[in-house]
Chains A and B, each alone.
Chain A
Amino acid sequence: MELAFYLSGLVAVLATVGVITGTSPVHSVVYLIVSLIAVALVFFALGAPFAGVLEIIIYAGAIMVLFVFVVMMLNLRADAERTPPLWRQPIYWLGPSLLALALLAALVALITAGDIEMAIDGELITARAIGLTLFGPWLMVVELSAILLLAALVTASHVGRRSDPGHSSTPRNAPNRGDTP
């Protein structure tokens, strides 16, 4: 089980590196799917099968399909990132990378300094327990997330509609229209 955790974690990290360094949108999306499935495997290994299944169905299934659709619809190609050749110029990536590394170091230092002394033995948490929690003490949060999803739906359908050809030449109005909710 530990082996599964570490292997899946390694795959997830590598796939994520592939996402952020990729030049082709389609490749990056596929890397991201790989990363998400690897995280789902991590969940299985940790003993949270319900979360792993949700990860695969909703994340890797629904959300990433949305990404793929959009990439296909906009016909994005690798040239979106081609100019300028980013990786030749360290000035573009060195600073943010060092920043992220510093942040990681700080986080790791904080986590390891805690001396948590706690292990995950892989005991299952069943979907029933989760359901009881959700619809027991967490009911209000479920209602709120429903409202959130509704708002996202309305927003997406409003923002994502095809704009008028007459207004397309005046992009000044665009930001005002997007933040209706």
Chain B
Amino acid sequence: MNGVPMEHGLVLAATLFSLGLAGLMLRRSMLFVLMSLEIMLNAAGLAFIVGSTAWNQPDGQAMFLLVITLAAAEASVGLALMIQLYQRFHSIKLDNVSRMRG
């Protein structure tokens, strides 16, 4: 068999996704939460690329572009929120803003 089996690519994506999820659940600093989100988005993108190359279709890569767009938008808004958080609380720990018990 020639080339990389598709499962391996998907398992790699799943591993990265799980790591990002673990980071999201573990860390209380908003910076790390945002980075974990980037990792998860990236893992999703990887899954699309794997699918795209496996079937030799360009649509997966178009989807990857969308994922990148989303990641950029998310990062910009998230970082802006983080700056605001830091200005108001002088800390970026998310547990500090649990006052509304939302």
A/B touching: CB–CB < 8 A: yes
Asked if B39 and A125 make an inter-chain contact with CB atoms under 8 angstroms apart, the answer reads no
Whether A118 contacts B54 in the complex (CB less than 8 A), given A12-B12, A76-B31, comes out as yes
Asked if A148 and B77 make an inter-chain contact with CB atoms under 8 angstroms apart, the answer reads no
Residues of B within 8 A of A134 (CB): 62, 65
Q: Which of A19, A119, A121, A145 contacts B69 (CB 8 A)?
A: A145
- B interface secondary structure, majority: helix
User: Nearest Cβ distance between residue B27 and chain A, in whole angstroms?
Assistant: 7
Residues of B within 8 A of A59 (CB): 38, 42, 68, 71
- B-side residues, CB < 8 A to A, are 1-12, 14-23, 25-29, 31-32, 34-36, 38-39, 42, 45-46, 49-50, 52-59, 61-62, 64-66, 68-77, 79-84, 86-89, 91-93, 100
- A-side residues, CB < 8 A to B, are 1-2, 5-6, 9, 12-13, 16-17, 19-20, 25, 28-29, 32, 35-36, 39, 42-43, 45-48, 50-51, 54-55, 58-59, 62-63, 66-67, 70-71, 73-74, 76, 80-81, 86, 92-93, 96-97, 99-101, 103-104, 107-108, 111-112, 114, 116, 118-123, 125, 129-130, 132-134, 138, 141, 145, 148-149, 151-153, 155-160, 162-163, 168, 171, 174-175, 178
